[in-house]
Amino acid sequence: MIGPIETVLGQILSMNLKELASKLGLSPTTVSRALNGYPEVNESTRERVVAAAKRYNYSPNTRAIRLATGRAMAVGHVIPIATRHEIVNPVFADFIAGAGETYSRNGYDMLLSVVSDDDEEGAYRDLKSRGAIDGIIVHGPNQNDPRIPLLRDIGLPFVVHGRSTGTTLPYSWLDVNNRRAFQRATEFLLDLGHTRIALINGLEFMDFAIRRRTGYVDALAARKLAADPALMFSDEMTEVAGYQAARAMLALPHPPTAFLVSSMISGMGVRRAIESLNLHMGREVSVIIHDDELSYLRNGAEVPIFTATRSSVREAGRLTAEMLLDLIANPGEGPKERLLEADLIIGQSTGPAPRKN
């Protein structure tokens, strides 16, 4: 009889190594080696084994491999749920899609842990001591992030997506040059003649938000302009928050003529605020956003709607995952760092500053 065994229920029982070996008249050792590409097995034997494995639909039991090798062949991602505001970062989906591609390609599984943020440390320790994963990716680092020394202490290989200002320990990270991106964007607005430029930022304990603000402030300072606290806003990056902040600023006696906005979603709120006052984006008010190239929130079809600093978070996921697998495979090597530059792409949301009247 050929092919996998069918039970009464129609379920396919995959056979195990011992069965396959006896079917071939070989020892499990040889079969295992043949399938795993070890040199000490005759080529013709290997071919027989490989053919039989395919014919009988054999695939080795992951649980057994993991126990035998001591490796989990899995990478963890911890999603902290803020107990206060319960927000799932919308860039997660795309980052994870990118990372997942890398894992699939390399035979790794991706383990997601959803954890309330006051229990994150416990989650890391648990994943490590249970031996559930070989490494982990750290999301959304804050200033002086405690997770970095923690992971170093418990000896779990990790790569940070982003960086942590204030951390002096060396660690592996991949980040977008957020400071440079917002510096360039600010310069671009200044070149267009804007001087009242508002910053609608994310939460400024997050590292990326700190760096973006620095870029913005630096660019202003280079032109001898001081950042106006009334034009700097920091909050959760939601549509509503963007709308409210922009409304409030546009109602100031001396309103901004341009907005630098930390995300596409906040940007849509800013746009709504502008249009609700019968103003026009790219005419009376200019807007630049940061575009993570989220797959479900494209910045326009062919023509970009927003002028934007752009960097694909999906690609970041792919690359960060590659760095981690590399780190796992070569534990001896030191930390790796990688800085991606964002593109500045010009859309329809920016134009010359309106003349004073």
Q: Which residues bind DNA (CB under 7 A)?
A: 16-18, 25-30, 32-33, 35-36, 40-43, 45, 60-61, 63-65, 67-70
What is d(CA 344, CA 171) in angstroms, rounded to the nearest whole number? 29
Name the minimum Å distance from CB 233 to DNA.
51
Query: Contact at 8 Å (CB) between 56 and 20?
Result: yes
Query: Contact at 8 Å (CB) between 21 and 60?
Result: no
- Residue 326: contacted member of DNA, its own copies, none (CB under 5 to 8 Å, by partner type): none
- Residue 9: contacted member of its own copies, DNA, none (CB under 5 to 8 Å, by partner type): its own copies
Q: Is 259 in the site for its own copies (CB under 8 A)?
A: no
- Residue 92: contacted member of DNA, its own copies, none (CB under 5 to 8 Å, by partner type): its own copies
Q: What is the DSSP string of 91-107?
A: HHHHHHHHHHHHHHHTT
Structure tokens at 121: 């440390």
Q: How far is CA 322 from the centre of its chain?
A: 12
- The residue (of 184 and 314) whose beta carbon lies closer to its own copies is 314
Name the DSSP class of 231.
G
- Residue 300: contacted member of its own copies, DNA, none (CB under 5 to 8 Å, by partner type): its own copies
- The residue (of 74 and 325) whose beta carbon lies closer to its own copies is 74
Q: Is 276 in the site for its own copies (CB under 8 A)?
A: yes
Beta pairing class for 286-291 and 307-310? parallel
- The residue (of 108 and 188) whose beta carbon lies closer to its own copies is 108
**232 - beta bridge partners?**
199
What is d(CA 255, CA 141) in angstroms, rounded to the nearest whole number? 33
- The residue (of 295 and 330) whose beta carbon lies closer to DNA is 330
Query: Contact at 8 Å (CB) between 262 and 202?
Result: yes
Name the minimum Å distance from CB 129 to its own copies.
4
- Residue 17, helix vs strand vs coil: helix
What is d(CA 205, CA 215) in angstroms, rounded to the nearest whole number? 16
- Residue 165: contacted member of DNA, its own copies, none (CB under 5 to 8 Å, by partner type): none
What is d(CA 20, CA 61) in angstroms, rounded to the nearest whole number? 13
What is d(CA 209, CA 201) in angstroms, rounded to the nearest whole number? 6
Beta pairing class for 12-13 and 5-6? antiparallel
Instruction: Choose which of 115, 160, 174, 206 interacts with its own copies (CB under 8 A).
Output: 115
- The residue (of 31 and 220) whose beta carbon lies closer to its own copies is 31
What lies within 8 Å, CB to CB, of 341 at 6+ separation is 176, 177, 180, 181, 311
Structure tokens at 80: 């902290």
Name the minimum Å distance from CB 130 to DNA.
9
Q: Is 348 in the site for its own copies (CB under 8 A)?
A: no
Instruction: Choose which of 29, 42, 129, 330 interacts with its own copies (CB under 8 A).
Output: 129
Size of interface with its own copies, in residues (CB under 8 A):
70
- The residue (of 40 and 86) whose beta carbon lies closer to DNA is 40
What is d(CA 349, CA 261) in angstroms, rounded to the nearest whole number? 12
- Residue 17: contacted member of its own copies, DNA, none (CB under 5 to 8 Å, by partner type): DNA
Site string for its own copies, 73-102 (x = CB under 8 A): -x----x-x----xxxxx-xxx-xx-xxx-
Name the minimum Å distance from CB 50 to DNA.
13
Which residue is associated with the tokens 């200002």? 165
Distances (CA, A) of 180 to 175, 176, 340: 12, 9, 10
Q: Is 50 in the site for its own copies (CB under 8 A)?
A: no
What is the contact surface with its own copies in residues (CB under 8 A)?
Answer: 9-12, 14, 57, 59-64, 66-67, 70, 72, 74, 79, 81, 86-90, 92-94, 96-97, 99-101, 103-104, 109-115, 126, 129-132, 152-155, 237-240, 244, 265, 268, 271-272, 275-276, 278, 294-298, 300-301, 305
